């Protein structure tokens, strides 16, 4: 289901990361540059108020205002006005799944203050009824830096009065937690506070909920605390609750026991947490946005911005985190459609909605979601796989297998990671799910009677493939794909289960697959949602954040949205994906880089070349293994060493280091990546318990490798190897850019990637962009061939983007409504091209992207083909001239790759011209 309003107007987006120096006014200054590049919409990272110091904005603290670090609503209005003046719009990233579990978040602070009496108590996904007596009716806060008794005895829990707000807090280092005003009377009575104040807080205790009486009492306390007697009393209260002495510790313990929150050592969170977090991050608490009142509170301001024309479309973060994504999307679509007629007359067509969603193989967006498509991870996988050579898998497998016993295949590595995560990271969520399922069926005569269901449930979770099912959603929808995914996991789990456990697996799967229209009991619905809330983070953490760092056959296939076991994609399958997208989500975003990618789009394109020359790569790596002497030094082992060499090849600069400062910067980038990769892999070290000896040994190895005095031979070899493959890598990068710009969908450009992108995983991929340099290159008008002759600057990529986006601007309907027609390729070199046509209203666009360019003898200086290419196209009869958007028109259109020319074809034909 697609938007009826704004999506066709989204021609090309430019993803801009705010914070880190980028403000709304800074973005406003960039608008003319982006307009000249040909972009139709700025695609902004979250703009709403986030935690102070946030580097990304996904830790929202308020949904009703722009983050003051970025500007204010007036600054947003200036940006919108500049965009609209250039015929452009704004797509804003919103985060409806979670907020910061932080004192700066007023909703969360109110829940901590009042517990279940808070108006927001059911806005967050908190289980208030857990059997744990410490947590029943309370919120667990695993924030202490050591066990509770040790913290208490060390005096690291301090009771203080805040003169500005009038409230009491418990402080732990730089954190503070509010005390409920219902207990203030007891605190104040101990210091002989005035009678009227004690009476006021006695009333507060009787009311047992926030309200005008509480506000008035707190205001009285604030005023009295500012007097001399009040200041003495506040100091006295703090002193008699000093945890370093026995009497103070007893009083403080009593106070803590009365609160709606329970402080615990941070390590206890994985075992006892009673609220849903974002993945494994206890600093982010999930919302119950499926509740209409919560939806309205979360979206009121954003929808107001849309109604007033300051925002033109939305990108929804982590749609799979929601309990009811279909209901959410339908509600959001309805709200936008209702407001669209009220938008200013001069506003752009608005209402596009994109969802951040990882699609497993064979999975499509549910038809019940009225959205315009995903944010493009599916395309990123498809185009990358199409540029890899599947024939190289055998040799690369052999190289990988030789790296030791840990060098396994992705599927068993991912299952082992899942088992670890269930035991060490998501054990609270796993236990909660097991309890719910155990309660769903009676014991009498059932297979559950004599069984501990945890082993059966674990097996099911280990074999479950996609991010989640949607049985727990409230909307009636097609669950065919959900049923197939659950059935595959059930069959796999039952194959390795005992007889009785196999029966339990079947019972669990039957419960989890109950559709809402079957009216399953509420307990079953809660179990379904708990399952779906667990499988999504389990999939992400086991694959993207573990397997990708344990499996190193070829790192260009270890990317978000990809299956690293799949080396390449047949061209016919790539075409089929494009045809499917054209039919169902023609306005979906097409991405090749994001703020979450593991390595930059051109680093992946360069590494893809290794799939076409696996034997040479194998020899080179074995030579480095032999001469760099990592073994016996404490690290890295062979797996980490192989991943390091690939990372160096992918990120190596196109020009020699100009000075020691550049060399040092590069080394620090590599070591930053290495530390993150080692910890994510969790083989030798980790985030919770780092093995600093192993990490130091690995960092020392990088120091030696990149030291021009110690490792001059290696550095010459690395530079020489990269020089040999970089031209083919650049052609790969141009090919994926060409396909992103011309296949069905909306091309999305990640900030800075109009030039070469050899970035590594965050934070490396989020560093500030040199926009002045890009603006200077953009102003240098030149031919495409001249840009290709200076390809190392990246201007050739920028020039191609500018040319094709200008054509899209002039002929938008060709891309929104035009056909997508795969073109058959013949000849001995047919494997070196991907060809198709887009046609509409007498206009035809012929695109031929190069593939496996290392076999085309690419010229190192010009990126031109260095030999005759036997590649021919089967085209319909078309009379008249062709015009080229890139370089010259080939002498024969049916033979698009010509010796001496860059192998990129983008030809236009006007019927009758």
What band does 441 get if pLDDT is binned at 50, 70 and 90? confident
Q: Taking 80 as the threshold, does the pLDDT of residue 438 lie above it? A: yes
- Residue-wise pLDDT for 78-137, tens only, equals 999 999 999 999 999 999 999 999 999 999 999 999 999 999 999 999 999 998 999 999
Report the distance separating Cα 581 and Cα 575, nearest Å: 10
Q: Are 835 and 869 in contact (CB under 8 A)?
A: no
Contact by Cβ (8 Å): 357, 466: no
CB-count exposure of residue 733 (10 Å: 0-12, 13-18, 19+): buried
Q: What is the mean pLDDT of residues 595-616?
A: 98
Tell me which residue has tokens 């079947």. Answer: 506
Strand (E) or helix (H) holding 43:
strand 41-44
Handedness of CA 243, 247, 250, 254 (dihedral sign): negative
- Of the pLDDT bands very low, low, confident and very high (cuts 50, 70, 90), residue 184 is very high
| Mean pLDDT calculated for residue range 540-549 | 97
Give the pair of three-digit tokens for residue 9.
Answer: 């107007």
Q: Which fold has domain 106-278?
A: Maltooligosyl trehalose synthase, domain 2 (3.30.1590)
Residue 3 predicted with pLDDT over 50:
no
Sheet holding 41-44, edge to edge: 352-355, 313-316, 89-94, 41-44, 13-16, 746-750, 589-590
Per the CB < 8 A criterion, the answer to whether 769 and 32 are in contact is no
Q: What is the DSSP string of 423-470?
A: HHTSHHHHHHHHHHHHHHS-STTSTTTT--HHHHHHHHHHH--SS---
What is the separation of C-alpha 324 from the centre of its chain, rounded to a whole number of angstroms? 20
The string of pLDDT tens digits covering residues 842-884 is 999 999 999 999 999 999 999 999 999 999 999 998 888 999 9
Provide the angle, in degrees to the nearest 10, between the axes of the packed helices 292-307 and 325-339: 40
The answer on pLDDT for 719 being more than 60 is yes
Using DSSP, state whether 49 is helix, strand or coil. Answer: coil
Phi-psi region of 87 (alpha: psi -120 to 50; beta: other; left: phi over 0): left
Q: What is the pLDDT of residues 762-802, one digit of tens each?
A: 999 999 999 999 999 999 878 999 999 999 999 999 999 99
Query: What's the pLDDT band for 632 if we cut at 50, 70, 90?
Result: confident
Homologous superfamily of the 614-724 domain (CATH) = Maltooligosyl trehalose synthase; domain 4 (1.10.10.470)
Cβ atoms of 438 and 131 within 8 Å: the answer is no
Residue 913 is predicted with a pLDDT of: 66
Task: CATH 1.10.10.470 in the chain: give the residue spans.
Answer: 614-724
Residue 398 to residue 408: CA distance in whole angstroms = 11
Q: At 2, is the pLDDT very low, low, confident or very high (cuts 50, 70, 90)?
A: very low
Q: What is the pLDDT of residues 369-382, one digit of tens each?
A: 999 999 999 999 99
- In contact, 871 and 827? CB cutoff 8 Å: yes
- Say if residue 4's pLDDT is above 70: no
The distance from CA 902 to its chain's CA centroid, rounded to whole angstroms, is: 35
Identify which of 426, 492, 482, 484 has the alpha carbon closest to the alpha carbon of residue 460.
Answer: 492
Residue 499 banded pLDDT, cuts 50, 70, 90: confident
Considering the chain, what is the average pLDDT of its residues?
A: 95
pLDDT, mean of residues 668-687: 97
The two tokens of residue 409 are 């295949």
Q: Tell me: pLDDT of 720 over 70.
A: yes
Position 6 pLDDT exceeds 80? no
In this prediction, residue 446 has a pLDDT band, given cuts at 50, 70 and 90, of low
Consecutive H or E run containing 638? helix 638-651
H-helix segments, 453-521: 453-463, 480-495, 499-512
Strands (E), 803-904: 821-822, 825-826, 833-840, 843-850, 872-873, 882-884
> What span, in angstroms and rounded, lies between the C-alpha atoms of 859 and 863?
5
**How far, CA to CA in Å, does 176 sit from each of 109, 131, 384?**
10, 27, 47
Average pLDDT for residues 387-393, to the nearest whole number?
98
Helices 795-810 and 712-742, packing angle to 10 deg: 0
Name the token pair of 841: 């209203």
CATH 3.20.20.80 domain span(s) along the chain:
7-97+289-375
Q: What is the mean pLDDT of residues 254-278?
A: 96
Confidence at residue 684, expressed as pLDDT on a 0 to 100 scale = 97
> CATH homologous superfamily for 7-97+289-375?
Glycosidases (3.20.20.80)
Question: What is the mean pLDDT of the segment spanning 447-459?
Answer: 77
State pLDDT tens for residues 725-758.
999 999 999 999 999 999 999 999 999 999 999 9
Quote the Cα angle for 817-823-826, to 5°: 175
Q: What is the pLDDT of residue 519?
A: 93
- pLDDT at residue 449 above 80? no
Judge whether residue 233 has pLDDT over 90.
Answer: yes
pLDDT in tens, 62-82: 999 999 999 999 999 999 999
Q: What is the C-alpha R_g of the chain? A: 30
Q: List, in sequence order, every residue forming a beta bridge with 262; answer none if it has no partner.
A: 140
Three-state DSSP class for 845? strand
Q: DSSP letters along 83-110, please?
A: HHHTT-EEEEEE--SEEE-STT-HHHHH
Strand (E) positions, 325-385?
A: 352-355
The pLDDT of residue 448 is 54
Cα 229 to Cα 234: distance, rounded to the nearest angstrom:
9
| Mean pLDDT on 546-575 | 97
Sorting pLDDT into bands at 50, 70 and 90, what band is 1? very low
Strand, coil or helix: what is 135? coil
As annotated, the residues of the chain forming the CATH 3.30.1590.10 domain(s) are 106-278
Residues forming beta bridges with residue 16, ordered by sequence position: 44
pLDDT at 645 over 90: yes
The predicted model gives 509-532 an average pLDDT of 96
* Residue reference for tokens 């965050």: 762
């Amino acid at each position: 289901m697609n938007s009826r309003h704004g999506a066709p107007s989204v021609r090309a987006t430019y993803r801009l990361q705010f914070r880190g120096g980028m403000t709304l006014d800074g973005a406003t200054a960039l608008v003319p540059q982006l307009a000249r590049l040909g972009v139709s919409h700025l695609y902004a990272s979250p703009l709403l108020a986030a935690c102070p110091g946030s580097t990304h904005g996904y830790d929202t603290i308020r949904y009703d205002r722009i983050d003051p670090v970025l500007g204010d609503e007036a600054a947003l209005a200036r940006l919108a006005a500049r965009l609209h003046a250039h015929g452009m719009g704004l797509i804003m990233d919103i985060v409806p799944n979670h907020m910061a579990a932080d004192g700066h978040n007023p909703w969360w602070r109110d829940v901590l203050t009042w517990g279940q009496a808070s108006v927001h108590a059911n806005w967050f996904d908190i289980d208030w009824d857990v059997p744990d007596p410490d947590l029943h009716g309370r919120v667990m806060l695993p924030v202490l830096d050591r066990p509770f008794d040790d913290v208490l005895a060390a005096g690291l829990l301090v009771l203080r009065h805040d003169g500005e707000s009038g409230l009491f807090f418990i402080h732990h280092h730089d954190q503070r937690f509010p005390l409920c005003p219902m207990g203030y009377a007891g605190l104040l009575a101990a210091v002989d506070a005035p009678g009227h104040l004690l009476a006021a807080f006695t009333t507060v205790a009787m009311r047992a909920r926030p309200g005008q009486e509480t506000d008035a009492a707190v205001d009285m306390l604030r005023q009295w605390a500012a007097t001399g007697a009040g200041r003495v009393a506040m100091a006295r209260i703090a002193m008699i609750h000093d945890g370093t002495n026995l009497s103070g510790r007893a009083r403080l313990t009593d106070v803590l026991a009365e609160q709606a929150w329970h402080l615990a050592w941070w390590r206890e969170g994985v075992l006892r947490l009673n609220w849903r977090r974002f993945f494994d991050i206890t600093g982010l608490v999930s919302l119950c946005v499926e509740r209409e009142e919560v939806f309205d509170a979360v979206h009121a301001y954003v929808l107001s911005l849309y109604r007033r024309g300051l925002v033109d479309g939305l990108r929804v973060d982590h749609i799979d985190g929601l309990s009811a994504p279909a209901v959410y999307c339908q509600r959001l679509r309805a709200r936008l459609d209702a407001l669209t007629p009220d938008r200013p007359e001069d506003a752009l067509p608005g209402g596009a909605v994109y969802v951040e969603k990882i699609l497993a193989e064979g999975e499509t967006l549910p038809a019940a979601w009225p959205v315009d498509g995903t944010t493009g991870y599916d395309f990123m996988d498809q185009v990358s796989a199409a540029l890899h050579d599947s024939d190289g898998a055998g040799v690369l497998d052999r190289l990988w297998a030789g790296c030791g016993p840990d060098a396994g295949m992705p599927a068993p590595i991912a299952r082992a990671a899942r088992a670890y995560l269930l035991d060490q990271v998501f054990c609270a969520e796993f236990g909660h799910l097991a309890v719910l399922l155990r309660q769903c069926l009676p014991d009498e005569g059932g297979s559950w009677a004599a069984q501990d269901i945890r082993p059966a449930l674990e097996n099911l979770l280990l074999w479950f493939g996609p991010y989640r099912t949607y049985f727990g959603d409230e909307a009636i929808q097609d669950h065919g794909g959900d049923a197939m995914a659950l059935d595959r996991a059930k069959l796999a789990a039952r194959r390795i289960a005992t007889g009785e456990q196999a029966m339990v697996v079947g019972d669990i799967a039957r419960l989890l697959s109950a559709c809402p229209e079957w009216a399953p009991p509420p307990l079953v619905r809660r179990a379904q949602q708990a399952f779906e809330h667990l499988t999504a983070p389990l999939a992400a953490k086991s694959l993207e954040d573990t397997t990708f760092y344990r499996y190193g056959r070829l790192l260009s296939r270890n990317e978000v949205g990809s299956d690293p076991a799949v080396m390449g994609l047949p061209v016919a399958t790539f075409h089929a994906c494009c045809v499917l997208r054209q039919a169902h989500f023609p306005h979906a975003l097409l991405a090749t880089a994001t703020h979450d990618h593991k390595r930059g789009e051109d680093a992946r394109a360069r590494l893809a070349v290794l799939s076409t020359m696996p034997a040479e790569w194998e020899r080179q790596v074995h030579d480095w293994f032999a001469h760099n002497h990592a073994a016996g030094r404490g690290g890295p082992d062979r797996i980490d060493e192989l991943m390091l060499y690939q990372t160096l090849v992918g990120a190596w600069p196109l020009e020699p280091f100009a000075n020691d400062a550049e060399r040092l910067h590069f080394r620090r980038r590599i070591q930053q990546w290495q530390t993150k990769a080692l910890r994510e892999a969790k083989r030798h070290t980790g985030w919770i318990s780092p093995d600093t000896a192993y990490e130091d040994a690995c960092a020392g190895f990088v120091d030696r490798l990149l030291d021009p005095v110690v490792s001059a031979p290696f550095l010459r070899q690395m530079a020489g190897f990269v020089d040999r493959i970089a031209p083919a890598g650049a052609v790969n990068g141009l090919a994926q850019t060409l396909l992103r710009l011309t296949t069905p969908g909306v091309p999305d450009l990640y900030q800075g990637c109009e030039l070469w992108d050899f970035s590594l995983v965050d934070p490396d991929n989020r560093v500030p962009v040199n926009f002045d340099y890009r603006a200077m290159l953009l102003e240098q008008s030149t031919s495409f061939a001249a840009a290709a002759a200076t390809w190392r600057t990246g201007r050739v990529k920028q020039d191609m983007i500018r040319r094709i986006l200008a054509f899209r601007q002039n002929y938008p309907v060709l891309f929104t409504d035009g056909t997508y027609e795969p073109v058959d390729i013949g000849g001995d070199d047919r494997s070196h091209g991907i060809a198709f046509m887009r046609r509409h209203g007498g206009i035809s666009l012929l695109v031929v992207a190069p593939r496996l360019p290392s076999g085309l003898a690419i010229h190192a200086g010009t990126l031109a083909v260095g030999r005759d290419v036997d590649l021919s196209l089967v085209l319909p009869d078309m009379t008249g001239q062709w015009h080229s958007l890139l370089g010259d028109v080939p002498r024969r259109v049916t033979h698009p790759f010509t010796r001496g020319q860059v192998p990129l074809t983008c030809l236009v034909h006007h019927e009758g011209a």
